[in-house]
């Protein structure tokens, strides 16, 4: 089982690339085959396949084989690390700014 | 203290808050920049220097898969109104920015933690806009998770 930190790293890394983000966004509109994506974006099929492999490894998309084509779609649960990240820091900063205020009360002007 | 969570609903890569503090900007600035005070309210800080480009670290309690180190680099410092630093945990590069504005009763402290580094945003150009749009869509997708 991969740790939460590793999952986050993979997801942030996968989405840090503009082409992968574009592909991911496109898949959010619906399932697509590799050849459709290659036609939609100005990138070669091997490059598209490589981006898809990385997105899949990050848990953001999943694929199904149908005949000779593989169709990819978004895996909603894959976004969980990002949601967790935001939730973690919301709680973190709320707690610490609360401490900051207590400290300010104690400090001299 | 009154607090407003100003994070846009559609924005999933940024955490932002505004706090109204009943203390002067000068005093709040000290708490944000003095290593001893920072250690007291935020996390133990090491090698802090108030110059742009300077690397320093925070040490949080270690967790499984993370030794607790937050690697930081000062990006922008303008006493007593703005301090911004890279906040790197593992491979996740973020930027934390505090902005202080005087108010009738003290200081409005704005805190923004952005999920991606400033220079990456510039490189991406339009991609960033797409991400925000994507965030709006995300809410719909997440609702389907059992």
Q: What is the pLDDT of residues A35-73, one digit of tens each?
A: 899 988 888 999 999 999 999 999 999 999 999 889 999
- Asked if residue A49 has a cis previous peptide bond (ω within 30° of 0), the answer is no
Query: What's the token pair of residue B136?
Result: 């709006």
The pLDDT of residue B108 is above 50: yes
A12, A74, A101 member nearest B21 (Cβ): A101
A91 in B contact zone (CB under 8 Å): no
**Contacting residues of B for A12, CB less than 8 Å apart:** 91-92, 115
How high is the mean pLDDT of chain B?
75
Pick A7 or A63 by higher pLDDT.
A63
Measured between beta carbons, which residues in chain A are less than 8 angstroms from residue B26? 109
Partner-chain contact B90 A5, CB within 8 Å = yes
Tell if the CB–CB gap between B42 and A100 is shorter than 8 Å: yes
Q: CB distance B145–A76 less than 8 Å?
A: yes
For residue B62, the distance in angstroms to the closest alpha carbon of chain A comes to 12
Nearest residue on chain B to A97, judged by CA atoms? B41
Interchain contact A57–B (C-beta under 8 A): no
Using CB atoms within 10 Å of the CB of residue B64, give its burial: 0 to 12 exposed, 13 to 18 middle, 19+ buried: exposed
- How far does the CA of residue A9 sit from the closest CA of chain B (Å)? 6
Gap between the Cα atoms of A101 and A98, Å rounded:
5
Q: What is the pLDDT averaged over residues A83-100? A: 85
Which one of B1, B39, B122, B129 makes the best mutation probe of the A interface by having the most chain A beta carbons within 10 Å? Answer: B1
Q: Do B3 and A94 touch (CB under 8 A)?
A: yes
DSSP chain B: -EEEE---TT-SSEEEEEEEESS-HHHHHHHHH-HHHHHHHT--EES--SSTT-EEEEEPPPBTTB-SEEEEEEEEEETTTEEEEEEEETTEEEEEEEEEEEETTEEEEEEEEESS-HHHHHHHTHHHHHHHHHHHHHHHHHTT--
Percent residues over pLDDT 70 in chain A? 90
Task: Please tell me whether the overall predicted TM-score, pTM, comes out greater than 0.90 for this model.
Answer: no
**Are B40 and A99 an interchain contact pair (Cβ–Cβ within 8 Å)?**
yes
Q: How confident is the model at residue B128 (pLDDT cuts 50, 70, 90)?
A: very low
Model confidence over B5-57: pLDDT tens digits? 555 433 445 678 888 999 999 999 999 999 999 999 999 999 999 999 999 99
- Measured between alpha carbons, how far is A103 from B37 in angstroms, rounded to an integer? 8
**Cβ of A83 and B12 within 8 Å?**
yes
pLDDT at B117 over 60: no
> Which pLDDT does position B29 carry in this prediction?
97
Percentage of residues in chain B having pLDDT higher than 70: 68
Tell me: pLDDT of B91 over 70. Answer: no
Among A62-76, B10-24, B113-127, B131-145, top mean pLDDT goes to A62-76
Which of A28, A100, A105 should be substituted to probe chain B, the one whose Cβ sees the most B Cβ atoms within 10 Å?
A100
């Amino acid at each position: 089982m991969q740790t939460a930190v590793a999952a986050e790293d993979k997801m942030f890394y996968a989405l840090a690339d503009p082409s992968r983000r574009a592909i991911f966004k496109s898949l959010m509109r619906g399932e697509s085959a590799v050849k459709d994506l290659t036609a939609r974006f100005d990138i070669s099929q091997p490059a598209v396949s490589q981006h898809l492999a990385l997105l899949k490894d990050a848990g953001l998309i999943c694929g199904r084989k149908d005949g000779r084509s593989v169709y990819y779609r978004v895996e909603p649960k894959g976004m969980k690390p990002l949601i967790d990240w935001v939730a973690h820091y919301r709680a973190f900063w709320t707690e610490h700014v609360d401490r900051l205020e207590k400290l300010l009360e104690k400090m001299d002007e | 203290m009154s607090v407003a969570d100003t994070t846009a609903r559609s924005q999933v890569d940024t955490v932002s808050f505004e706090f109204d503090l009943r203390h002067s900007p000068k005093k709040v600035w000290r708490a944000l920049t003095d290593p001893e005070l920072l250690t007291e309210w935020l996390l133990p800080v090491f090698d802090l220097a108030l110059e742009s480009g300077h690397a320093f670290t925070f040490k949080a309690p270690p967790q499984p898969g993370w030794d607790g180190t937050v690697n930081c680099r000062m990006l922008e410092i303008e006493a007593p109104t703005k301090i911004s630093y890279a906040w790197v945990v593992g491979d996740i590069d973020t930027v934390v920015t505090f902005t202080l504005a005087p108010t009738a009763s003290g200081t409005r402290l704005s805190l923004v933690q952005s999920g991606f580094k400033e220079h990456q945003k510039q490189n991406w150009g339009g991609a960033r806009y797409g991400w925000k749009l994507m965030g709006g869509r995300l809410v719909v997708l997440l609702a389907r998770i059992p």
